Amino acid sequence: MSKQSREDLQARLEVVSKEYQKVQDDIQGAVETHQRLDSQVNENQAVKKEFASLKPHNTIYKMIGPVLVKQDPVEAKSNVDKRLEFIKGEITRVEQQISDLNTKSEKIKAEVVTIQNVMAAQQQPQAIAA
């Protein structure tokens, strides 16, 4: 193989390596998002559990800015249920995103290995000739 194709391979390896690093960063961000969403689910499930143990005469307050405002128990429970549903949907979306990114990462990793193998094979004849 010519020297030019070796330079092309080196340039391609750099591009693919940067792409691989970007995908790894994206995976890390998605995992952090997943952890945050898991935490939100746990918080909302704890609130839902608290609501289940309330008696009819208990009052529910919602913080709006610096003020506590009385809230209808049915509305409060409905809001928590909707929030849980939304968060679980987001978790499903993020899990799919992580799966897609992992697949993309594996393809890029395979390309990096292929380029490295081609470059190593090019060096072998040069080493023997020397």
Q: Which domains does the chain show, CATH number per domain?
A: 3-125 (1.10.287.370)
For position 1, what pLDDT does the model report? 47
Burial level of 71, CB count in 10 A (0-12/13-18/19+)? middle
For position 32, what pLDDT does the model report? 99
Q: pTM score > 0.85 for this model?
A: no
Percent of the chain at pLDDT exceeding 70: 92
- Which of 22-26, 39-43, 55-59, 92-96 comes out lowest in average pLDDT? 55-59
Contact between residue 35 and residue 90 where contact means Cβ atoms under 8 Å apart = no
- Compute the average pLDDT of residues 77-86: 98
Computed over every residue of the chain, the mean pLDDT equals: 92
For position 130, what pLDDT does the model report? 55
- Compute the average pLDDT of residues 88-116: 97
Residue appearing with tokens 């249920």: 81
